[in-house]
């Protein structure tokens, strides 16, 4: 009997995934052409491009969490953040680049949630790359229409007397939510508070974690 | 932000406005679900070069960017989940028709 190759399973027991070889799209070809031209004409270099990619990858929700924790412990900083989000984040030493940031504060009776219905605008300088669901058609179309249902699917059930403010990031501004500071966190340091601030809590699809949770 | 530098044509916070009900093609920044709807100016942001022209490499005039706040009922009628909920969007001046001027807050 010939040896059974099990050629649909890898040695790990998982099925092999098909290679996703497809021809380059028009825009992928365009990107390669423009990149090569820019390098050829000495306008940029491959090293410079790699450095920028590294910088982009180094940004993540920890930056936003540090800003939120500062706002929780420093009321003067919080009012500067609410007045001009970019300037206040820059104050903490973060490279906000050309980002125009609006910070939105969750309170006892207001919950903020951010969406970009037209594309996928996201405060990348502060939160890094957006999660895939943020760019999905379902999140983008449903959040403006049925935010409570969307929130419940994230495990966030808000009482009816909490007002929801949905912020559609349609143009030049980017948004970060300052989640409510959880009860029981009064004695935590700014550094430990930052650990309670999740990415989703800054998009508004989550709440800050409870201490010792 | 930066409102002092702007001229008298700037709408005050609280002004009742209607978003133009037009359907031009291209890189427009007013989402379809607010067109023809009434809301109020939540804040005046600042003038920006009009992205609807910038997107095509055209000379772009500066337009004031506002945030307009809509009630869920105005946008969705009976299907609104909660009448107190608000939806707020950034809308450029050239998309906005003033209905009446409320007192600036």
Question: What pLDDT is stored for residue A19 in this prediction?
Answer: 86
pLDDT in tens, A163-173: 999 999 999 99
Residues of B in contact with A149 (CB under 8 A): 81
Closest CA to A100 of B53, B52, B46: B46
Q: Domain tally for chain A?
A: 2
A63 and A51 in a common domain: no
Question: What pLDDT is stored for residue B9 in this prediction?
Answer: 82
**Beta-bridge partners for B16:** B40, B100
Distances (CA, A) of A203 to A70, A132, A141: 18, 13, 16
Does pLDDT of A112 surpass 70? yes
- Considering the domain boundaries, does residue A194 fall inside one? yes
What percentage of chain A reaches a pLDDT higher than 70?
Answer: 96
Q: Please check whether residue A4 touches B, CB under 8 A.
A: no
The answer to whether the beta carbons of residues A33 and A153 sit under 8 Å apart is: no
- Considering the domain boundaries, does residue B8 fall inside one? no
The mean per-residue pLDDT over the stretch A183-204 comes to: 97
Q: Residue B49's domain spans which residues?
A: 16-100
Q: Domain tally for chain B?
A: 1
Q: Please tell me the distance in Å from A21's CA to the nearest CA on chain B.
A: 31
Does pLDDT of B101 surpass 80? no
How high is the mean pLDDT of chain A?
93
- Pairing type for strands A173-178 and A100-105 reads parallel
- Considering the domain boundaries, does residue A210 fall inside one? no
Does pLDDT of A206 surpass 60? yes
Does pLDDT of A148 surpass 70? yes
Inter-chain residue contact B85 with A164, CB threshold 8 Å: yes
Query: Residue B21 and residue B31: Cα distance in Å, rounded?
Result: 11
A99 and A36 in a common domain: no
Contacts of A73 (CB under 8 A, 6+ apart): A190, A193
Question: What pLDDT is stored for residue A88 in this prediction?
Answer: 95
The answer to whether the beta carbons of residues A113 and A158 sit under 8 Å apart is: no
Inter-chain residue contact A145 with B76, CB threshold 8 Å: yes
A156 and A144 in a common domain: yes
**Beta-bridge partners for A174:** A101
Inter-chain residue contact B91 with A171, CB threshold 8 Å: yes
Q: Please check whether residue A149 touches B, CB under 8 A.
A: yes
A81 and A31 in a common domain: no
Task: Count CB-CB contacts under 10 A for residue A176.
Answer: 26
pLDDT in tens, A14-30: 888 888 888 999 999 99
A142 and A118 in a common domain: yes
A92 and A53 in a common domain: no
Q: Please tell me the distance in Å from B99's CA to the nearest CA on chain A.
A: 22
Q: Please check whether residue B75 touches A, CB under 8 A.
A: yes
Question: What pLDDT is stored for residue A4 in this prediction?
Answer: 53
Q: Please check whether residue B90 touches A, CB under 8 A.
A: yes
Q: Please check whether residue A157 touches B, CB under 8 A.
A: no
> Beta strands of B31-71 (E only): which ranges?
38-49, 62-71
With b for 16 or more beta-carbon neighbours within 10 A and e for fewer, the A189-211 pattern comes to eeeebbebbbbbbbbbbbbbeeb
> Beta strands of chain A (E only): which ranges?
100-105, 110-115, 163-168, 173-178
Question: What pLDDT is stored for residue A12 in this prediction?
Answer: 81
Q: Residue A49's domain spans which residues?
A: 26-57
Does pLDDT of A5 surpass 60? no
- Considering the domain boundaries, does residue B40 fall inside one? yes
- Predicted ipTM of the assembly: 0.89
Closest CA to A165 of A113, A105, A104, A88: A113
Q: B5 falls in which pLDDT band (50, 70, 90)?
A: very low
A115 and A31 in a common domain: no
Q: Please check whether residue A144 touches B, CB under 8 A.
A: yes
Residues of B in contact with A141 (CB under 8 A): none
Does pLDDT of B66 surpass 80? yes
A121 and A52 in a common domain: no
pLDDT in tens, A47-106: 999 999 999 899 999 999 999 999 999 999 999 999 999 999 999 988 888 889 999 999
The mean per-residue pLDDT over the stretch A118-131 comes to: 93
Question: What pLDDT is stored for residue A96 in this prediction?
Answer: 83
- Considering the domain boundaries, does residue A208 fall inside one? no
- Considering the domain boundaries, does residue B5 fall inside one? no
Token pair belonging to A128: 């890094």
Task: Provide the CATH number for the domain around residue B74.
Answer: 2.30.30.50
Domain boundary among A36, A57, A78: A57
The mean per-residue pLDDT over the stretch A135-148 comes to: 97
Please report which helix (H) or strand (E) contains residue B97, including its range. Answer: strand B96-100
pLDDT in tens, B16-25: 999 999 999 9
Catalytically active residues of A are: 116, 119-121
Inter-chain residue contact A172 with B86, CB threshold 8 Å: no
Domain boundary among A57, A75, A96: A57
* 3 state SS of A163: strand
- Considering the domain boundaries, does residue B11 fall inside one? no
Placement of tokens 């825009």 in the chain: A27
Residues of A in contact with B87 (CB under 8 A): 144, 165-166, 168
Does pLDDT of B1 surpass 80? no
- Considering the domain boundaries, does residue A212 fall inside one? no
CA dihedral B75, A161, A139, B39 (to 10 degrees): 30
Closest CA to A161 of B51, B83, B71: B83
A134 and A63 in a common domain: yes
Q: Phi/psi of residue B70, each to 5°?
A: -120, 145
Contacts of A160 (CB under 8 A, 6+ apart): B82
A192 and A91 in a common domain: yes
Residue of B nearest to A87 (CA): B1
Token pair belonging to A140: 């983008």
Question: What pLDDT is stored for residue A10 in this prediction?
Answer: 78
Residues of B in contact with A167 (CB under 8 A): 88-89
A87 and A143 in a common domain: yes
- Considering the domain boundaries, does residue A16 fall inside one? no
Helix axes A75-83, A61-73, angle to 10 degrees: 120
Token pair belonging to A150: 């969307």
- Considering the domain boundaries, does residue B65 fall inside one? yes
Question: What pLDDT is stored for residue B3 in this prediction?
Answer: 40
Q: Phi/psi of residue A25, each to 5°?
A: -75, 170
């Amino acid at each position: 009997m010939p040896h059974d190759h099990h050629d649909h399973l890898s040695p790990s027991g998982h099925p092999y995934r098909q290679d996703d070889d497809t021809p380059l799209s028009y825009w992928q070809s365009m990107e390669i052409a423009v990149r090569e031209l820019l390098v050829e004409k000495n306008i940029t270099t491959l090293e410079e491009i790699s450095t920028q990619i590294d910088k982009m990858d180094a940004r993540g929700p920890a930056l936003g969490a540090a800003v939120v924790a500062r706002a929780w412990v420093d009321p003067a900083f919080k009012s500067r953040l609410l007045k001009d989000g970019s300037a206040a984040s820059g104050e903490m030493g973060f490279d906000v680049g050309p980002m125009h940031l609006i910070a939105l504060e969750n309170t006892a009776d207001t919950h903020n949630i951010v969406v970009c219905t037209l594309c996928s605008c996201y405060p990348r300088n502060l939160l890094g790359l957006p999660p895939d669901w943020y760019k999905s058609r379902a999140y983008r179309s449903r959040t403006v229409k049925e935010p409570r249902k969307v929130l419940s699917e994230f495990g966030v059930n808000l009482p009816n007397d909490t007002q929801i403010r949905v912020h559609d990031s349609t143009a030049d501004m980017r948004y970060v939510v300052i989640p409510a500071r959880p009860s029981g966190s009064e004695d935590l340091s700014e550094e430990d508070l930052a650990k309670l601030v999740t990415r989703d809590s800054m998009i508004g699809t989550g709440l800050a974690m409870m201490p010792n949770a | 932000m930066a409102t002092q530098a702007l001229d008298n044509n700037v709408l005050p916070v609280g002004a009742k406005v209607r978003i133009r009900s037009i359907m031009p093609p291209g890189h427009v920044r007013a989402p379809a679900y607010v067109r023809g709807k009434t809301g109020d100016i939540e804040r005046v942001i600042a003038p920006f070069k009009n992205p609807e022209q910038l997107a095509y490499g055209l000379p772009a005039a500066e337009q004031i960017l506002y945030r307009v706040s809509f009630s869920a009922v105005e946008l969705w009628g009976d299907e609104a989940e909660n009448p107190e909920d608000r939806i707020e969007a950034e809308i450029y001046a050239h998309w906005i028709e003033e209905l009446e001027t409320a007192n600036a807050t």
